[in-house]
Structure formats: structure tokens, C-alpha cells
Chains A and B, each alone.
Chain A
């Protein structure tokens, strides 16, 4: 941490703490699990940047979705995302969540993940190198600084649209809406 950041800390501690304490939950759907362990262990050591893996979505504020998203895993992804507490950031890792990648004509994968949950940043490639996660993290820092990593706000504001897309892909959802439809979007009352 630089000494010239101390004034920033006093100005907006929430933003700075969000930047430097990214507790990540990895959703390794298909591929990508090979790239994540070197990043969090000795070879690339993500903990220098404050990025550590946590075991539950309640403790996390960075959601990393690696590899293709099948229709079945989309259900789990949405539930995991909705269990995370705000502010939360999402990063899609690999080509498949971006536009389907090599599964562009598959019958049971989701082509565009950001139709279903908001994504703050993409890492393109098949597969990206582990260093790309650090590029994504530093990029995410810039976005948080500028207030552009606002996926969770977009999710709250456009929740009906997201929910409609989710129901189109998955059929009737068995869990109640995260935000009440009548414009009362203040509190997540669901347990």
C-alpha cells in the first residue's frame, strides 16, 4: 500500500476497503479450476492483493465464474449470487461465459451470462493464463475507484428484467424474488 493512498482511506474507507479486501468465491463450473489453485497458492500468491478464497457466499464479495455455464449450473450461480451481500462484484473468466465460446451452438449451455446476472468484468481467452486474474483484479480496482463496478446496483434496478430472463432459461423459479416488485428495493428481507 502506497503512502499517498492514506488520504484516500480517510476520504472513502468503504471504497478502499472493498478494493483491497476481495474475498472471492470461485464457481468453477467446467474448466478454470486448473488456473485458480496456482493463483491462490505459492506460485502467484493472490493474497498479496487481499484476494483470498472463502468457503461461503455470505463471506464473499467477489464472484468468479470460470468456464462454460450449463443450464443446470446457472440455477446454482443465481442462487449463489443472490446470497452474497452487497456490495458484490462479478467477474466472468474465460470465453464461454462471454459469448458461449466453443459451445456457441450447444443445446444446453448459456451463451451470454450477463443476461442472467450482472457481470462487472470479463477475462476473455480459452483458457486465460492465471496472471489474467491479476489483470482483472487491478482492472476491478480501477472500476471500483471510478464507481463503475456497479453490477449489484444494476441488478437491483433491473431486477424484473433479470428475473424474466432467468425464468425464460430455467422455467418457473422455486425461490421468491430477491427484491419486492413494488419498488420497495431497500432491504433484502429473505432469509
Chain B
């Protein structure tokens, strides 16, 4: 049974993530008052890219993208999706926190071999941005772990099942808000899409990707969407027992993020770090103190 879940859950994450990619393009088009592409346009793109020829830029160029995919898949195995959670008895928030860093690192290693100046700029922006959002993110996770006195994400979800959503509780309202504020930065959408800005640095780390490399990078992006939103839903919106309910909650969070994406222009990277270290960090820190005081 666990073997089936281990195989099933990355596939499920892939389907959900690719659906989100297609939905993003469709919803963005409707916000622009356009008709928009079909919902399966990312699938069509991926089929095309897998059939296209491509040139490798070296060993690390191949390994890095695989590494980042593998890191994402490992995180997905620890995340509950409704009752589907292959590795429910091991891991926990600390493991997730560590392994989540592998995905951007893999892209950075892969891009470093590409030897294009736009890639270097994009990667440095991405790493500075992750320096910005990791601080509030760690504080948020500390607040959650302090409040529930556990590092297991499954126990956090089950505690919310018996009580109420943690974003509605007094102690974790501010960390929840803080997580929602850093969520666009973690997803790499506007106003924090400076790392893959198509107009400034020719889509940053993606510059040299074409063919199957770009297809793998798209899959990786779908995984990143899935991981960050699923983590938010699990920690703050109560998770779910039923995968369908869980998916609906993820959809709601994703649509909210998409509206932010549609409405805002792009920050410069130092503006982004200034913002991330000010408001989300402050909220998360106050939330952590409240969680410490009220833990009894």
C-alpha cells in the first residue's frame, strides 16, 4: 500500500501542478479580457518540448535539473494530500525545510554550467530572494511547531481536524498571514518574479533551457507550485481527510495568489528583500512570541 502511495503521490502532484499552470494562463487571459489558451496548453507545450532536439551544456547541466526534480519529489513524499501521505511516520517540518532548498540549488548548479550571464544574474536574484523569504518562513514554522508542540506535519493536520483551522486560532493568525504574504515569493510569481523576468534578463535561469530541459523545468515549476501551496493548506487551512477537499482548498489559495500575480508589477530584488524582512518577518515574529506565551 505504501509503495502504491509512493508512486502515486508524485504523479498526483504532477497532475495538480500542471493543471495549475494551465489554469494560471487561462485565468490570466480572462483577467486581460482575452479568450486564452486551452486548459491543456502546458501539456501540449511539454509534448512539443520532449520531441524537440536539444543540446546539453555539460554534465552538471543534466544532473542539476534532475537533482532539483528529485528534491521536489522527496518533499512531496512527506506532504499529506488528504489521506495520501506515503511517509507519514518519518520526516516532519524540519526535514521539509532542509530538502526544500535542494530544488533551487539544483537549478542553480544546472544554470551555472550554462555559462550565460543572464543565468548568473537570475540565480543570484533567486538566491537573494530566498534569503529574504527563508527568514519569515522559518519563524512561521517555529511558531507552528511551538503551538502544536510537535514537528510532525501529520500531527499538525490531525490537531486541526479535532479543533479548528490554525489560521483562525489566536496564536497562529499572524504566522498564517505572514506565510500568505511570502507565498508569492516562494512561488516566484509577481511581484517577486524578478528571478525569471522575461523582459529584463531573458527569463533568467531558463535562458539556455530548450527542448527536454525546458520541459523538465516546467515540471519542476509545477512541483514547486504544488509543494508551497500544499504546505500552506496543511499548516494553516486545516489540511483535509478527503483529497478532493484538499484540492479545493489548494485551488482557492492558488487563485488568490494568481490575482496578486495579475494585479502587481515587479519588485526589484532589493525592494523585495526589504519588504520580506520588514512586514512578513515582523508578523511572524510577533506570532512566534504569542505562540510562546500562550502555549501553557
Task: Indicate if the CB atoms of A14 and B207 lie closer than 8 Å.
Answer: no
Q: Are A86 and B53 in contact (CB under 8 A)?
A: yes
Contact with B along A57-95 (1 / 0, CB 8 A): 011010000000000000000000000111100000000
Contact yes or no, A188 B55, CB < 8 A = yes
- The distance in angstroms between the C-alpha atoms of A121 and B207, with both chains bound, is 27
Q: Which residues of B contact A20 (CB under 8 A)?
A: 41, 44
Provide the bound-state CA to CA distance between A61 and B207, in Å.
14
Given known pairs A17-B44, A20-B44, A55-B202, the reply for A86 and B52 (CB within 8 Å) is yes
Q: Is B267's beta carbon under 8 Å from chain A?
A: no
Residues of A within 8 A of B44 (CB): 16-17, 20-21, 50
Q: Which residue of A lies closest to B28 (CB)?
A: A47
Nearest Cβ in chain A — how far from B107, in angstroms? 15
Does more than half of chain A's interface fall in helix, strand or loop, or is it mixed? loop
Report the minimal beta-carbon distance from B284 to chain A, rounded to whole angstroms.
35
Number of B residues, CB within 8 Å of A: 32
Q: Is the CB of A45 within 8 A of B198?
A: no
Contact B51 A85 (CB under 8 A): no
Among B49, B54, B207, contact of A56 (Cβ-Cβ < 8 Å): B207
Q: How far is the CB of B135 from chain A (nearest CB, A)?
A: 31
Contact B25 A47 (CB under 8 A): yes
Contact B32 A14 (CB under 8 A): no
Q: How many residues of A contact B (CB 8 A)?
A: 29
Cβ-defined contact, B211 with A85, below 8 A: yes
List 7 tightest A-B contacts by C-beta distance, closest first: A58-B210, A17-B48, A17-B47, A14-B51, A45-B34, A55-B202, A21-B48
Question: What are 22 A-B residue pairs whose CB atoms fall within 8 Å in the complex?
Answer: A17-B48, A18-B51, A20-B41, A23-B45, A45-B34, A45-B35, A45-B36, A47-B41, A48-B34, A48-B36, A48-B37, A50-B41, A50-B45, A54-B198, A55-B198, A56-B210, A58-B208, A59-B209, A61-B52, A84-B210, A85-B53, A87-B53
Binding site for B on A (CB under 8 A): 1, 13-14, 16-18, 20-21, 23, 41-42, 45, 47-48, 50, 52, 54-56, 58-59, 61, 84-87, 188, 190-191
**Beyond A58-B214, A85-B54, 10 extra complex contacts between A and B, CB < 8 Å:** A21-B41, A23-B45, A42-B32, A47-B29, A47-B37, A55-B207, A59-B206, A59-B214, A85-B53, A87-B52
